Structure 1
Amino acid sequence: MIAKPLAALLLTSALALTASPASAQDSGALTPKQAEAVRKVVRDYLMEHPEVLAESLEALREKMRAQAEADAHKMLEARKDDVYRSAEDPVSGNTKGDITIVQFFDYNCGFCKQTFDALWDAVKADGKVRVVYKEYPILGPDSVFAARVALVAKAQSQAKYDDLHRALMKFRGRLDEKTVLRIAAEQGFNVEQLKKDVTNPEIDRQLAKVFDLGRSLDIGGTPTFIIGDRILSSALDQTTFRQLIDNARKTGAGKS
């Protein structure tokens, strides 16, 4: 790394510039002339080695990423009941499975739809995975409405939720209110009753709870998956899902 020689050079220069009788008398403080000399050393070095800045920025980004990940893991442990065991959340797959996948998603998120089949192919192939859905409508009012309708379906039964969830995820295009209600009608829901039920304050409370959880885990996008001790904000393919499931099982992380 070039940053280490830079640090050594600056330290040597600073020591050399301050090693004088005058500096000893004033506890090593740099005179204006000495300070300017140090600045020149730094400036000249960076002009000759501009890659140092890129390396330093990359090191800073990595440090910040690692700290954010550590903070998220601490919060994940502190709120594990809200993450894995909230009685209000839709739960599918093998509800008695030994590994849990938690998904934060939005019905208008293209990447969420892209990864839907991959997730379920992996879940079915494994047979021992529990899936917890976190309705996280961050892409506008249409998404909020779709999430409301889905939570109404969940209040009726998990099976009805599963059917509607799949239909909404399989739809290609923008899911506005009219389209959501049409799809719900195709799934056998009473549309007029749905329009009333989506205004229930309980739905607001459930969504607010998930948003609070998402913020505490620093989840800013969808899809975001929690698998084992990992929080992954990206679309994943079936192979990656299966690898993550296997790793979680081997390490004992993400046990249901």
Structure 2
Amino acid sequence: MTKRTLFDRRRRDLIRLGLGAGAAAGAAVLGHPALAQALADNPMPQELRKALERSPFTPVLGNPEGDITLSEFFDYNCPFCRDMAADIQTLLAEDGKLRLVLREWPIFGEGSIAATRVSLAVLKQQKYGEFHTALMGIGGTADEAAALRVARDLGLDTDRLRADMESPEVQEHIGLSGALADHMGLMGTPSFIAGNEMLFGAQSKAEMRGLIARGRAALG
């Protein structure tokens, strides 16, 4: 387990992410002069928190009006993300004031990128929660074929999904996730952020409850 306070580094060059239009969108958010100045004075600048927790076209589970936001950077092919999926659902069930932001960060290759594009397209059909749980629970590799198979099983319109996979919103979400992760120095998936603190890697429910409690205390 790695635990540390976030945002103790200067902004990196985001161009090297190589994420095309999505990276440009992320850089536009994180490169704002007000943010650059704020980084010297505030461990979690308001502009950065807004980009992390409130950016458009981002999956939100739990209580959308909750008093604390837990952000998870994940990949559908990350074994630890899969292992923790049930525990995350338990945390949401037991904490009615928890807001979960899912930042899709496909770092496990082309299959992950394709699965993420399908997953984000599902947002437009309003069955993201069901789809996310089902895809996290598959036994094999998450790729486009597997993601579309899960979508068909849930009764989603796969022709529409194929079209929506190409939408600017999908690419912008992926680009912003990469830009945020790079900016904050995240080491991989899963990474969890609440308040001004991050936990990286597999965590117990007790460790996650502690992160959420400290986040509430920091922002309360």
So what's the TM-score if we normalise by structure 2? 0.77
Cα pair distance change 1:205/1:172, threshold 3 Å = same
Q: Which structure has more helix as a fraction of its residues?
A: 1
- How far has the Cα of 1:244 moved from its partner? 1.9
Q: 2:8 aligns with which of 70, 75, 86?
A: 70
Uncovered stretches (5+) of structure 1, i.e. residues with no partner: 1-64
1:187 maps onto 2:187 in alignment: no
Relative to structure 1, is the Cα distance of residues 185 and 244 closer, same or farther in structure 2, using a 3 angstrom cutoff? same
- Mind listing any 5+ residue stretches in structure 2 that lack a counterpart? 11-38
Tell me the alpha carbon deviations over residues 191-233 of structure 1, each in whole angstroms, 9 at most, x when there is no partner.
Answer: 2332222122332222112211111111230000002211111
Could you say what secondary structure the match of 1:216 adopts? Answer: helix
Q: Distance in 1 between matches of 2:162 and 2:208?
A: 36
Partner of 1:103: 72
Shift, 1:154, TM fit: 0.9
Query: 1:252 corresponds to which residue?
Result: 218
Describe how 1:168-183 pairs up with structure 2 within 5 A.
168-183=135-150
Identical aligned pairs, as a percentage? 34
Structure exhibiting the larger radius of gyration computed from Cα positions: 1
1:87: Cα distance to partner? 2.1
Give distance in 1, aligned partners of 2:87 and 2:177.
Answer: 24
Determine the structure 2 residue equivalent to 1:142: 111
**Mapped contact 1:76–1:83 kept (Cα < 8 A):** no
Q: Does 1:116 align with 2:85?
A: yes
Residues 3-152 of structure 1: pairs in structure 2 closer than 5 A: 70-71=8-9, 76-77=44-45, 78-152=47-121
Contact between 1:119 and 1:237, CA under 8 Å: does it hold in 2?
no
Instruction: Determine if contact 2:4/2:199 at 8 Å carries over to the other structure.
Output: no
- Match of 1:252, SS state, is helix
1:165 aligns with 2:103: no
Pair 1:71–1:156, CA change in 2 (3 A)? same
The residue correspondences of 1:206-221 to structure 2 (distance < 5 A) are 206-221=173-188
Q: Distance in 2 between matches of 1:140 and 1:166?
A: 21
The root-mean-square deviation of aligned C-alpha atoms, in Å, is: 2.2
The answer to which structure, 1 or 2, has the higher relative contact order (CA under 8 A, 6+ apart) is 2
For 1:146, the aligned partner's letter is A
Task: Give the letter aligned to residue 61 of structure 2.
Answer: S
Task: Pick closer, same or farther for the CA change 1:85–1:67 going to 2, 3 Å.
Answer: closer
8 Å CA contact retained: 1:91, 1:133: yes
Q: Secondary structure at the match of 1:205?
A: helix
TM-score scaled by length of structure 1: 0.67
Q: How much has 1:162 moved relative to structure 2?
A: 0.6
